[in-house]
Structure 1
Amino acid sequence: MNANASMAAAGAAAETQDRGALRRVLSSAALGQFVEWYDFVVYAYSAAIIAKLFFPNSDPTAALLSTFAVYAVGFVMRPLGGFVFGSLGDRIGRRRVLSFVILMMGAATIAIGLLPTYQQVGILAPILLVICRLIQGLSAAGETVGSNAFVAEHAPAERRGLYVAFTYSFANLPPIVAALLVLFLTNAMTGEAYASWGWRIPFLIGGPLALIGLYIRRRVDESPAFAATQAARRVTASPIADAVRDQKKAMGFSFALAAFSSLGFYTLAGYFVSYLVATVKLDSNSALISNSVALFVAFLAMIAGGALSDRLGRKPVLIAGLLASALAAIPAYQLAAQGTLASAIAGQGLLALACGLFWGPVGIALLELFPTRTRFSASAISYNLAYTIFGGSAPFLGTWLILQSGNKIAPAIYMTAVAVAVLLVVLMIPETARRSMVHAEDVKG
């Protein structure tokens, strides 16, 4: 069989799945995304109580900044996790790596739920909290890119955008569940009981959820694209070195896409509730409810954006999402700053709609830039580096910008600037919607 015929056969194998197998892959990825990100974001929704229990300080703003600094610490490990899990995913397969990272995240989340407080063990408490967040960050680095690649390499070419966006969108649901769970607990319990032990419940739930995710992931087959690369003996022993040598430009594009994706997601899922409570002075119940509504809007907008990218191409939808986000950021914050439940829903909902449109094609667009043999490594490294810089800093930087400027919409100005900068990069990115997930170099020497 010549090289072209080999590539065609491999591409057909990678892109043609029976419906039952594809449903299992989609279920595995969607539920895996949910479990992984529930464990990661529940920290943000417990920021206020963690600030009191682990960082006692007479200045509540300083304590909150310390809590968000530890939140950002979890992102420090993401570039390292991208190197480790990206390389493993390209050498031993996607499925095995995804099974390991979800178990790792669950263990770290349970550990946070069992930690002693500052009052009980002093400085050891925040140190242990930092260690748990480092483990969570390492695990998270392998999840999103790996899960999206797993779906993309199973999906039919004409629906890759929709299927990746659908499973990727489940990352928006854990913040809703975490927010509503915290809302229920804080209203169902006395303040003393919640501060004593109730805050631990959302973290302890993360363990059983991780085991469910592990069970589901172990019941699906390895990606056909990776299997085709294995069969052609084209799995590289040094995917990171190959990616850095051959795909620097594509990795730069991937970094840019992830930069705004992470800033938008962690502004909505990791910062906005604290912004509404601490800066706008909205009551916590209204803040959590409004944020949950906004994230559900983002969930739907992501699916729509992914589906549109299958019809129109990735670039037009990415550009539309960035333009909408740049135009919506300042009005969204202005609405939210009015301090009512309705204005909080309207402001966050507007931002969620714009960001969700962009997030829809992001997951698949950055994967299509790379061949199978280096896809996990190249995308995980660039994606997680951007998430560390722009996502991990979002809550801390938002709080700091307001503190320094006295301007409640300062974070929106920053978001607008990042959206415009990324838009300029996207104009240079090639259209990838019609590319095969199996490239020529994946099946021929």
Structure 2
Amino acid sequence: MTEMGSTTIEGEAHVINIGEVNKDLLASMHKKLSQTPTLLSNSAGRRSCCIFKVPQSLIDINGKSYQPHIVSIGPYHQGEPHLKMIEEHKWKYLASFLNRIKNNDLGLEDFLMAVKPLEMKARECYSETIHLNSDEFAELMVLDGLFIIELFRKVLGVVKSDPEDPLVTMTWILPFFYRDFLRLENQLPYFILECLFDLSKFPGENPSPSLATLALHFFNNTIQRPDKDIAKHHSLRGMHLLDLVRQSLIPSEIRDHPVNANIPTHVIHSISKLRRAGIKLKAVKAESFLVVKFRRGVIDMPTINIEDFMTSFLQNCVAYEQCHSSCSKHITTYATLLDYLVNTAKDVEYLCDNNIIENNLGTDGEVARFINNLGKDVGFDIDACYLSKMFNDVHEYYRNSWHVQWASFKYTYFDTPWSFISAFAALILLILTILQTLYTVIPYYDH
């Protein structure tokens, strides 16, 4: 039946009233159907996309660990007021660089022309739509890219720097560069840096180090690895600087390690529980802190220095591995291992006493909080991680009742001198009580 311009269709189960559709609403919905996402672009799921805005869930946990504190690199934080100081010095560095190469038949236009063909490929590296026109985007890539390269060269003495350059001489600035250059939201595509680096080399740089060597030596001022470890990565390429340093810390012995994802993997307990089961942790020397092994009741772990740079680096590596669908999850696996091992400040104290952690961050409680936050709200496939066999081996050892009972007895009565003295005194008291009882009973039976 029809009533006041509307139609009622009666069915067995329900009644549907069909009235006139608001044409403005209809037009608005059709417009939205054709819109392209900008906050997470269509290219965000591709392998080529590697520079992401960090998910809000991780920001809620780790705060400003993903945002630059002193220098903006790339489009995400461009123009933010607190980064203006270094923005001015970028132009000073660019002018100094152009003046240095003016006799090599190269000018600013050559660098702009070099990055122009790479524009679309570079835009697709960002998970969000970049609202810059073609000229603005090229300017940003050249300005930020050459600033990074020139800073590398000056800090490492590849080219002569101004003895009064505050970016090099003021001791508080460089530590912020180390951290800001390795924040996920603060990256340039590595192929852009390579393009600018190759074009900017000149005869005075002889022998000329590769971009990877230059970058890794720059960050080695804080990571501090032997030169021979860096030399192995002369030709290493990353998606950006964060990925380059991340990859350089993954030795081939674990990068190429086969994983049997068909075998269910078990989580392991905290240090306090493992110790009660007789499992110890021992500091060892290795190429990377990622090389963790278990043998005969001992977990071998290389020393890691927990301080401002390392906490920021680990947090941004985990965020990158969470966002990039195609990269390995080695740092996430290591972060999860630490999260399993550490529940309290006491666990951190044990790791510090055994030289597995060098605590340059704060109290043991602060380190424990950092470790627990590092593994929080993180997607992780334990069956497909590089430590899956180690987790299972520790679990099997822990399940062995003989190990647990004997270790628990030792832990309870022989862990400290005072517990041993107490146990020994109790044993003596028990023996004296038995002897006294015997001396009392024996004369009775003699009669």
Say yes or no: TM over 0.5.
Answer: no
**Larger helix fraction of residues:** 1
- Name whichever structure is richer in strand by fraction: 2
TM-score by length of 2: 0.26
Ranked by relative contact order (alpha carbons within 8 Å, sequence separation 6 or more), the top structure is 1
TM-score (structure 1 length as normaliser): 0.26
